[in-house]
Structure 1
Amino acid sequence: MKRDDIINSLKERSSIKYHQNVVRMGIPEHNSIGVSTGEVRKLAKKINKHIPAYEAHELGFSLWQSGYHEAKLLAVLLMDPVETNETDIERLMQEVYSWDLCDHVCKNLIILQPKFQEYIYKWCDDTKTYYKRAAFCLMAASCVPSNKVQVTREDIDDYLHIIRKHADDERTHVKKATSWALREIGKKDADLLERVLILAHELHNSPSKHERWVGRHALKELENLVSVDERQRLISSQTKMGKSAGKSL
């Protein structure tokens, strides 16, 4: 399968609605095709059924270089985590220009690397917006059971220390990822929720408006978490399942 054929397939799936959505996120109009993430995932599955992993990996980098936003999203889904090395990841991160692309690369490729936590410790001190966001995105992703990542209590201790240290960042895309990481940690179990609530309240009462923002937005969800027998971790009491079967903590 050739890159141009796949670009044409993406264009066939485009819509004005999704094109406008992409442009609103700050993606230049000429780099947007206008395809939903769901359609991108369907196309990725179709491609992966017809070509071997090593070819899909090479095709992924070719699509990434096309400049189209949706082609970059598709590229990440085609890349083989086993074949992806540190040089590849750095190459991708250097060209990340939006929060959704940052999260997409982290949740679908970097989190699958055996040493993904090294990027957390490396990037949390980075001055570049999307590198720093990536550190918190990886924290959040590592706490989601579906990613099948083993996170120890020592790892969580490190995460909470990093969050406390960096919660004063003024950049919106970093603040949102920081709050996201805090919330995902709190959802793991009741003991961690207690620790996270203490930190969230501390941030909420901080003299720093940026720390207050992180704490306030985290508490909106953390204070409404309940335990459900059918679920491995805590969920919001505002969800259908939470309302019907949730147990207050």
Structure 2
Amino acid sequence: MEDKMFTGFGTGNFSETEAGGTKKETIEYLYKISSDKFKNNVVKMGIPEENSIGVSTKDIRKLAKKIGVSQSLSNELWATGYHEAKLLSVLIADISMINFAYIDRLMKDVASWDLCDHICKNLIVKMPNYEHLIFEWCDDSRTYYKRAAYCLIATTVVHNKNLATETIDKYLYLIKSYADEDRPHVKKAISWALREIGKKDFCCQEKAIILAHEFCESSSRNLAWIGKDALRELETLVSVKERSRLITSNSKMGKQD
């Protein structure tokens, strides 16, 4: 049931002085729609219990749409330290007010893969000239900076329909050069980036499969894991007329083709 103090959210943007617009009211509402189930899920990701409220990402997205853009509230929510408040903070941030120094401050606070991906997908890829971060972070010693580099590759390949072959080849080179990684959240992001490259078209699929097989034949356990994980999807890709990108033949749409 919707909280009365959020009844003004239907209009989109609002000032912090309006109903439901304060940090205190927002946190209270998050607690109201929280559950032990989702709190346990957050804690399992490694977020301290005291920093978890227990709200699903789906509900956080719904709330963000009601709030609209509010950079001042975004800043206040991030500063609370609550995981869910940080996710919401990213979703309501004003991209026109964000620079790379701001992104770096956020990244230093990241302690989970989902928050890392939220920042990449909802903020970084909307910034002009963000691509340099891929090359800066691809071999970063910090877990979520390095994951971010490959999350950005995956997101860029999906959304940039006019990505040059030269750029794709550079991404494949980065994957080949820095994929020997034992941290699970980084390994999974590298596999993800490789799979998304392979879905671009049949030429990219072939390049991705060749690299994945090269990883499988490596003496490195980490590379072998990434190669096998990527191949499970790469080798099933097909073209369907409803999609511009390749999809797995194991999907409902792929089976119908």
TM-score normalised by structure 1 residue count: 0.93
Rounded Cα–Cα distance in structure 1 between residues aligned with 2:224 and 2:33: 42
The letter of the residue matching 1:208 is S
Q: 1:200 aligns with which of 201, 209, 212?
A: 212
Deviation by residue 1:160-203 (Cα, 9 ceiling, x = unmatched): 00000011111111111100000000001111101111111111
Identity of aligned residues (%): 55
Show the counterpart of 2:253.
241
CA shift, 1:87, in A, is 1.2
Show the 5 A alignment for 1:193-232. 193-232=205-244
2:144 is the counterpart of 1:130: yes
Show the counterpart of 1:169.
181
The letter of the residue matching 2:85 is A
The letter of the residue matching 1:168 is D
Show the counterpart of 1:64.
78
Rounded Cα–Cα distance in structure 2 between residues aligned with 1:61 and 1:224: 43
The letter of the residue matching 2:101 is T
Deviation by residue 1:134-171 (Cα, 9 ceiling, x = unmatched): 000100011113xx575221111110000000111111
Show the counterpart of 2:4.
none
Show the 5 A alignment for 1:23-172. 23-48=43-68, 53=69, 56-145=70-159, 148=160, 150-172=162-184
Gaps of 5+ in 2: 1-20
Rounded Cα–Cα distance in structure 1 between residues aligned with 2:107 and 2:158: 22
Rounded Cα–Cα distance in structure 2 between residues aligned with 1:149 and 1:96: 29
Q: 2:37 aligns with which of 14, 17, 37?
A: 17
Rounded Cα–Cα distance in structure 2 between residues aligned with 1:34 and 1:230: 37
Rounded Cα–Cα distance in structure 2 between residues aligned with 1:23 and 1:187: 33
Deviation by residue 1:200-219 (Cα, 9 ceiling, x = unmatched): 11111111111101100000
Rounded Cα–Cα distance in structure 1 between residues aligned with 2:133 and 2:106: 13
RMSD: 1.0
Rounded Cα–Cα distance in structure 1 between residues aligned with 2:57 and 2:129: 27
Q: How many pairs were matched up?
A: 237
Rounded Cα–Cα distance in structure 1 between residues aligned with 2:254 and 2:138: 33
Using a 3 Å threshold, how does the CA distance of structure 1 residues 91 and 149 change in structure 2: closer, same or farther? farther
Rounded Cα–Cα distance in structure 1 between residues aligned with 2:164 and 2:31: 44
Q: Which runs of 4+ in 1 moved over 6 A?
A: none
Rounded Cα–Cα distance in structure 1 between residues aligned with 2:181 and 2:91: 30
Gaps of 5+ in 1: none
CA shift, 1:125, in A, is 2.2
The letter of the residue matching 1:37 is T
Aligned to 2:96, what secondary structure does the other structure show?
A: coil
CA shift, 1:100, in A, is 1.1
